[in-house]
Amino acid sequence: MCLCCIVPDSVLEKLLQDRKLPEEARQGLSQTIKLDSEIRKLRRQASRLTSFEFAAKISIAPSPAIVVYDCNHSQTLPGTPVSNPGSSRDTTIKTVFSTTTKVSDFYQQVFGRNSIDNAAMTLLSSVHFGDGYNNAFWNGTQMAYGDGNGELFVDFSRGNDVVGHELTHGVTQHTLGLNYTNEPGGLNESISDVFGSMFRQWVAGQSSSQADWLIGSDIVGPAARQRGYSCLRDLANPPAQHCLSPQPKHFSSYQTGMDPHLSSGIPNHAFYLAATKIGGHSWEKMGQVWYAVLTSGRSPGMKMARFAGLTRQFAGSMFPAEPGVLQAVDTAWSTVGL
């Protein structure tokens, strides 16, 4: 298992090696890498506990409570509780409350899911985590957002796809329970990218043809943009050089032990191809197919070929009167080598 951060260590390390960056910025990257390493330990334990949830859950409320805490630049979680976060004068607090509420609405209205665990689990977020911390993460029980250093990365709460991505790690934790290594790890990251992108499109009311399919475009800072980077990842063009983390888009490029943030490009691109082929809103057909697989039963070691096969199966069974859905799914996976 691994800490589910929006920015992988490989990106932080790549920027750390850029000697043209100010020393202060490089020190901040180094501190972020060290801190992420420690937080992974908490994530592992939370994941182990989730794996023992065998009994069916009963919803404790019609919808989850949304709570926000302020770390005030400390590294102590969860921090100080914020009263009435929705009307806070702190932009980050207000944004996190609003976006988290929208993610909850997205899962409830689009997929009929009541919070991360489908049982009204409270959605807890901590803001202003660390001093210039260049990341956002799901640690197995809650969200935490850094403010970035203002140069390479800006306030991580600005990216609603980032919020959707990280909270989806929680959904995966309570459904498929995918391991965070090798092919299951790539699927784990891809599911978060796919649902994070769908959420962003849903908020904007965009069709699959109108969406830019970028992940993290709103958190890239000016210093990174000056170097030609405009996002973390691109589902439409995973290997693009404008990505801080370019990825392969064909299974022939997959290697055992590959960072999940890299191998996720393969299923990411398959979803993009399928969604744009069928057209309309990505969450109405392709999103439903992907969600059906996500909630099909616990399968920590699921490989990409199995996941692809299940999407083909559900595309046919869920939309029997629309053969174009299955055709789009089948062609998309074949294009990426699965």
Task: Provide the annotated active-site residues.
Answer: 166, 261
Radius of gyration of the chain (CA): 19
State the burial class of residue 319 (Cβ atoms within 10 Å of its Cβ: 0-12, 13-18, 19+): middle
Q: Which residue is listed with tokens 């914020």?
A: 82
Q: How far apart are CA 9 and CA 134, in angstroms?
A: 11
Q: Which amino acid is at 222?
A: P
What lies within 8 Å, CB to CB, of 76 at 6+ separation is none
Cis peptide before 78 (omega within 30 of 0): yes
User: Are 75 and 139 spatial neighbours (Cβ–Cβ below 8 Å)?
Assistant: no
Q: How far apart are CA 240 and CA 234, in angstroms?
A: 7
Q: Which amino acid is at 314?
A: F
What lies within 8 Å, CB to CB, of 278 at 6+ separation is 208, 285, 286, 324, 325, 328
The structure tokens listed for 249 are 């888009």
Q: Could you give the count of Cα atoms lying within 13 Å of 172 in the half-sphere of its Cβ?
A: 30
